[in-house]
Amino acid sequence: MIEFFKKLFKNGRAPVEVRQKFDLAYFLANRHYLAQVQPEDLDDKLSKMSQSELQEHLARASEIWINPVFKEELRHMLGSQALFVAAECRDWQQSLIGRGTINGIGVVEERFKRLYGMHMDILMNSKKVEEEDKELIPQV
């Protein structure tokens, strides 16, 4: 085990991809501590819906999520905001607001991905969906 860590932390520092994975895991685990909402925190709205309302809501959210233009725009906004923060922030306050904007875009993306997943679970578990129809459902 010690050899594994010696190889991993060459020159006393982990490779970038390892640091990024740990940073992402730390970030996701500490969102509430950092006063950031998790996509799951928004599910209270869904629990108040009837089954038919929920299915319609999830279907409409899925229509948005599978639209490639929506994903392109989200990623473009995310990348543009990150570059803008890196290049244009003059002080810490501007940096915090810019990073909050980046987080907000990320929460929107994760939320739609979660709603799409919930919709797919309902579809795949539905007895109405025939086996040949399941192949036609887009996998994103």
Quick check: is 2 in a domain?
no
Q: Which two tokens stand for residue 130?
A: 């025939």
pLDDT digits (tens, 9 = 90+) for 22-75: 555 555 566 666 667 777 778 888 889 999 999 999 999 999 999 999 999 999
pLDDT digits (tens, 9 = 90+) for 64-105: 999 999 999 999 999 999 999 888 989 989 988 998 898 889
pLDDT band at 5, cuts 50/70/90?
A: very low
Q: Which two tokens stand for residue 2?
A: 């010690």
- Residues spanned by the domain of 117: 50-140
Chain centroid to Cα 129, Å, comes to 28
Quick check: is 135 in a domain?
yes
> So what's the pLDDT on residue 123?
86
Quick check: is 94 in a domain?
yes
- DSSP element (H, E) containing 77: helix 68-88
User: Are 119 and 62 in contact, with CB atoms under 8 Å apart?
Assistant: yes
As to burial, measured by CB atoms within 10 angstroms (0-12 exposed, 13-18 middle, 19+ buried), residue 87 is: exposed
> So what's the pLDDT on residue 36?
72
